[in-house]
Amino acid sequence: MPQGWSLPGYIEVAELGAGAQGQVVLARHESGGIPVAIKYLAPALLEDVTARNSFRSEAEILRRVTNPHVARLLYYVEWTTGAAIIMEAVPGRSLRRVLDERKKALAPEAALAVLKGSLLGMAGAHNAGVIHRDYKPANVLVQDDGQSKLVDFGIAVLAGQGDKSGTPAYMAPEQWRGQPATPATDLYAATCVFIECVTGRKPFQAANISELRTAHIETMPSLDLVPEELHALVRRGMAKNPSERLWDAGEFAAQLEEVAVRTYGPDWERRGVIALGAVAALVGTAVPLSMLGGALLAPGISATGGGGTGVGALATGATGQASAVHAQGAATADVAAKGVGSSSKGVLAKVGGGKGAAGIGTGAAGAVAIGWLFWPTGPNVGGESRGAIHASFAQPGVLLSQPFMPASDTPYMDLRMTVTPARAKPGTTLQVTTHFKARTPSGANYLADGNRQCFGPNSDHSTTKPYEYSLGLSATQLGIKGPIYLALYKTPPADPDKLPQDADATALPVKVETVRESQPFDQSECAYLSDWVKKRVLVLPGPDLLPPGKYMVAPAAPVKITNTVRDGKPIAPEAAGAVTEGRLPVLEVLEDG
């Protein structure tokens, strides 16, 4: 708690950061509501007129900017004994921390996803006449879903103002000279950060500040490690003369999109966000929501490094073999649980029954592969582990008999899970809360000019053939009693970042309870958008079946698309570009006694 005072009515939960200017804490109002991040001006600066004016200016700058890619200002409070900026609490960790802990480059699609999100955030600020001037990895928060937000407008100015303030590794030539800042100033910094993301190192290495200044003012960085297709984009962003750069962040984002689609395909952003989310999942979040009880934000870790049982909106998953079937309509979650669906009706046939459990999802932007852990302190039972899997197709038209179908319209399953407790002894009751989502296209025709006609799932005009695909093998194929199971893969040597591609796992039957269900047909998507939540429960067996150690908990074995069927005839999953991505939660089985 800041010395001397705190914002009345707010309860501090944890410190998020501290420095010479002040302290940032996670807090919530005593009456409830969403958690917030409160930035307090340091008590030693309260009598400093310049510092107080600068702090007030930061709040005024934030007030101008309203953009989903920028952490928003809620309100500003100032009185004799203190000053505070109350902001949105962003559930994520800094890009700086992600890069430092990863210690290697991001995939190009992930780096482009960071850059695009930042450009969109900058566009919002620039449209309000605000120049950030301190864009760097430490001021980009990567959320649990792989999306990013721009934070810390502490040295931001209105366009046309400027001095030599900034972070040297990312400062544009005009900043080094103390010239007025423009949108091009921020775009230079964003390009510097992109180079660091995609190569694993900053654009310029220098022995001292003078050498670094010269490099930024006179030299183009080496692009040897940057994919050749992206060179023109980088050169434009790092032009030494601001007039030779783009001044419109939105236009820069549009150019990025064009290059990315041409180089990596129309599905590049979904894959980039998935990759970024999977990487970020290995890093603890800045917002420790395990301390907030039921606050519906993505999870983090406690201020003490301990665990807890924080509830997160992304705490999801699946158990059993996932199997999606397109036919005439949407199956109910009851059908999915009992496994009595038929291929003549239902998006899902035998889901959760003889074929296991299915997850079906929403959103053309795709789901995000995530995984993180809440470990309890000490060796005791407790904690929480989470992960997610996304299954889709790079060439969905092969599966749906639609030669002009774009990859972005792929059917997909989004299977997410929360395992509680993350550490358990034999005989412990294990609960796996699962969230199933998917997009199941139905009743659509795709034309050669790229347009889509939607006749609805029951129309005779549709040329889409019935199709089916599964994740993993069925319980029957694995010799498991009961229709639904969990697959446990021993680790190490298995890598949680690599989904197991074989069925060599310990498969355990589970009991199932449906919490909620929904499977509407969305005309705008021309697809069923299904969503339901289930709880799977089992009692951990003894060491003869499950020896002590760490296990990756999987929704199916193997964790890949199988049993791909088109119009009643099997086809190879590879023919449709089957892709399964994600990261599995981890369970530690302790010694008994």
Residue 71 has pLDDT above 70, yes or no: yes
Summarised one tens digit per residue, pLDDT across range 12-53 is 877 777 777 788 888 877 776 678 888 888 888 888 888 888
Closest CA to 22 of 63, 54, 60: 54
- The model carries a pTM of 0.54
| Range of weakest confidence among 247-251, 426-430, 480-484 | 480-484
**How high is the pLDDT of residue 378?**
42
| Range of weakest confidence among 248-257, 348-357, 558-567 | 348-357
Please answer whether residues 322 and 391 qualify as being in contact, where contact means their C-beta atoms are separated by less than 8 angstroms.
yes
Question: What mean pLDDT do residues 219-237 have?
Answer: 92
Residue with tokens 């007129």: 49
Q: Which of 74-88, 115-129, 318-332 has the highest mean pLDDT?
A: 115-129
Summarised one tens digit per residue, pLDDT across range 452-468 is 889 887 777 667 778 88
Question: What mean pLDDT do residues 203-229 have?
Answer: 92
Instruction: Say what the alpha-carbon torsion angle 122, 125, 127, 133 is, to the nearest 10 degrees.
Output: -80
Residue 353 has pLDDT above 60, yes or no: no
Residue 316 has pLDDT above 70, yes or no: no
Q: 325: pLDDT confidence band, cut at 50, 70 and 90?
A: low
**How high is the pLDDT of residue 569?**
92
Q: 415: pLDDT confidence band, cut at 50, 70 and 90?
A: confident
| Three-class SS state of 115 | helix
**How high is the pLDDT of residue 12?**
82
**How high is the pLDDT of residue 224?**
92
d(CA 240, CA 3): 45
Residue 250 has pLDDT above 70, yes or no: yes
Residue 265 has pLDDT above 80, yes or no: yes
Rounded to the nearest integer, the mean pLDDT of the chain is 77
Q: Does a cis peptide bond (omega within 30 degrees of 0) precede residue 492?
A: yes
Q: 361: pLDDT confidence band, cut at 50, 70 and 90?
A: very low
Which two structure tokens, joined as six digits, stand for 218? Answer: 């006179």
Residue 296 has pLDDT above 70, yes or no: no
